[in-house]
Structure 1
Amino acid sequence: MSQRLSRLLGAVLVATLVALFPSVPASAATTKIMIVGDSISQGAEGDYTWRYRFAQHLASSGVAADFVGPWTGTRVLDADHANPMVSHSGAYRPGISFDSANLAQWGWRMDQAKDVIGANVSGHTPDYLLVELGFNDLGWGVSDAPGLISHFETFVANARAAKPNIRIVIGNVPHRTPLDVNPGLPALISQYNALLAARVPQLSTSASPIVLADIDGPFNENTDTYDGLHPNVRGEYVIAKAFADRVSGSFGLGGAYGAIPTSLPAGLTPAAPTSITAVRVADKLKVSWSHSFGATGYQFWKRDVTTGGAWEKGLYEIGADSWTDDWLPAGHRMEYQVRATRGSSWTSPASPTASAVVRPMPDVPNVTVVANPDRPYTLTVRWSAVADAHDYHVYAAPGCDSTVPAPSAFTEQQWGLAGKTSWTQELVFEQCRNYKVVASRWGGHGSLATATTVRAYPYRT
């Protein structure tokens, strides 16, 4: 008998045994595993991921594993916020290579995964589903604890409809460091984890067993994360061990994981962007910078050069390699720097500085000033509206000479006129008075140097 025919008959025999006797360990053949999860499982650019550590462990245990799923990469920040949550093109830590196919996506929830798991099981035919989901359902207020259990039940039913003998390992939800905006989250996670532990044995069957992997117990949100939730290098080992020990203990797939190494690779420290630009887009400024490998966000710093302002950090981190800055004072020169971050564990030095001038306001057209014979000592200034103006400022200066007063001679008389296009000044006792009107947007107004000067004589009727 040829070697090729022998291998073919052997494969058919193993497949037949697995189909007839689901309790036969799948490790007798190539084992197909689909990891289903959220950001904790997908990982960010530069992560090893717990999927890598788990694959390493199976290989060292002699398990021929085939990881399956529609996606292969980590999440990488995009250039223009096109879809900040969905990205599967990110790289792993340089120098590593593994079978990285998966069904894990940043921001994913159980209530989303339940509706597509059937098609993915049908298409990829995994023997095992390793599921890490639920944090986003609870953390974002999409589901309460019982509701999340209900979504998991639907997930199981849809997976089994596609493959009746599917084996499922469900991880519980790890706690994260406290969030002031969601003080009830720790209790909600604990409630769900307790309900899940009670429900899993009830859902398990001999044909399609389900077992629980305890992630929350060994996972320390203070030491095993780079931002209070997402696993750092040590955290990746912790989660991999939780799943590995469960598939080993319950299904005989691979050996026990053993102790987590005490000597670990260093965490990522993304470098500062090496270049940065700022360009005018209408009345905004678009700031773009070179990508920093492994960055999970960027601190955005700016200052108003025109007013001599100090550097100020933005309230939120930027989740892309650019940001369009809005609500800027017209005509002001702005400067920008960014700093790459890796969660809360690392902030890079500052990038170079970019500078640009916000679109200035045009001169106000059709400015006139007239005296009112019925109201002595009053002058009314009128003008035409300027597009995008938020306000108008009226300036005045004395002087009846043929020479127009210098811009420095004008003092502000009125502002806060919003969309009005006229203003009347009373008690003007000078022989003549000169006026300028400038439009403003977000606190920056037009130039007094180029604004039209009009003169009026309040005593003349």
Structure 2
Amino acid sequence: MLRRIFSCCLAGALTALALVAAPSAAQAGAPSAPPKIMLFGDSLTQGFNGDWTWRYRVWQSLTEAGQAFDFVGPRNDVVEYTTWKLDSQGYRNPAFDRDHASLAGMKFMSGYYQLASLARSYRPDVVVGLIGVNDLLAGTSVADLEAHWREQIAQARNVDRGVDVVLVPIPETWAAGVVDYNAMLGRLAADLDTATERVTLAPLASLSMWSDTFDYLHPTASGQRKIAASVEGGLAQLGIGSGSAAMAADPADDHQWAPVPSVTVAGGAITVAWSAVTYASSENVWLHDLTAGTSGVQRYVKDTSTTFQGVAGHQYSIWLVPVKGYGAMDTSSLPVEVTA
């Protein structure tokens, strides 16, 4: 972390006696540059449109705690969920430092981005690496991934002396090979960690497959918070943040991330229609019978319309909840009221 300040120590050893009387930059009160942090990974890190992303959560928590830092990397986008198009800026809240070095679908062994070239271009003080699940799902062995980590860290250190690395365990422990991979990361950190070039292991984010992911792999809003807490724990080991800062509550739902329903009534048939969106794969369509005090829902509607059979004279309130995979997003449309 502080290698920029002390990088000249060895070169200046022979003239140390002549410099004894000179105040150091720290003694003189000269501010040091905020640490540059590069978030390196795949779709778990990049995220999708309509997501907060765990990157936002880390930024939010560190910023609110007063920690100065700078995210760096070649990208600042998320992926469109239904099309997998890159370069989307469809963050749930785009008002944060969005720079990163992650790419959806990327494998660690053969990915488009490699640590050595990233380190050469962006000179990060810290690399946060959450990657490898795509390799494991494709059958790559843990031994091969360990060898690649060793090679990549050595190359990054060669071009960017003093770079620190935070290894983030893959949180989807139910996926094949993940438990062994995470254990390997712990051994790797213990083996490669030095006083001047740290390698730390972040705590494991304990995700629930059903509530913290929306497709057995990618995190929901709750999963993103848990991964962010894991990353903060790793950064705290390097003196960046406390690792225990509480993340602020989200603002009230502004209903902007749910399509607006339109409703038509023909006899007792109530037809609900909406525009297609790229951030959700289906919609949960809720219908509350205000007259009877009962509710119903049609789940995972992949079309852009559906029909309910209402009761003549009954008043209904209807709203939409967008769904990624099997996970309902933490937003909804404003309700529309009609009478059958």
**TM-score, normalised with respect to structure 1:** 0.51
Distance 1:29 1:212 in 2: 25
Asked whether 1:201 is paired with 2:185, we answer no
Counterpart selection for 1:251 from 206, 226, 238: 238
Counterpart selection for 2:101 from 100, 103, 107: 103
Q: Output the amino acid matched with 1:343.
A: G
Distance 1:114 1:204 in 2: 26
Residues 106 and 112, structure 2, Cα contact 8 Å, conserved in 1: no
Distance 2:326 2:39 in 1: 27
| 1:344 corresponds to | 326
Distance 1:33 1:16 in 2: 14
Distance change in 2, residues 1:223/1:264 (3 Å): farther
- CA drift of 1:270 comes to 4.4
- CA drift of 1:290 comes to 6.0
| 2:317 corresponds to | none
Residues 101 and 113, structure 2, Cα contact 8 Å, conserved in 1: no
- CA drift of 1:52 comes to 0.7
Q: How does 1:18-167 map to 2 (within 5 A)?
A: 18-20=6-8, 28-77=32-81, 84=84, 87-94=86-93, 96-113=94-111, 116-141=114-139, 143-167=140-164
Residues 38 and 107, structure 1, Cα contact 8 Å, conserved in 2: yes
Distance 2:74 2:154 in 1: 21
Does 1 or 2 have the higher relative contact order (CA < 8 Å, sep 6+)?
2
- CA drift of 1:199 comes to 1.9
1:308-350 Cα distance to aligned partner (Å, 9 max, x none)? xxxxxxxxx99xxxxxxxxxxxxxxxxxxxx97412124999x
Residues 74 and 99, structure 2, Cα contact 8 Å, conserved in 1: yes
Q: How does 1:414-453 map to 2 (within 5 A)?
A: none
- CA drift of 1:114 comes to 8.4
Q: How many residues align?
A: 266
Residues 164 and 207, structure 1, Cα contact 8 Å, conserved in 2: no
**TM-score, normalised with respect to structure 2:** 0.67
| 2:219 corresponds to | 231
% identity of equivalent residues: 27
1:186-244 Cα distance to aligned partner (Å, 9 max, x none)? 4x11111112211221022222110011234x333332222222111121111111111
Gaps of 5+ in 1: 1-13, 178-184, 275-288, 300-316, 319-338, 350-461
Distance 1:233 1:77 in 2: 15
Gaps of 5+ in 2: 11-24, 263-273, 284-301, 304-320, 334-340
Q: Output the amino acid matched with 2:60.
A: Q
Q: Output the amino acid matched with 2:138.
A: W
1:257-313 Cα distance to aligned partner (Å, 9 max, x none)? 245668887799743899xxxxxxxxxxxxxx9651522x369xxxxxxxxxxxxxx
Distance change in 2, residues 1:253/1:239 (3 Å): same
| Secondary structure in structure 2 of the residue aligned to 1:251 | coil
* Larger-gyration structure (1/2): 1
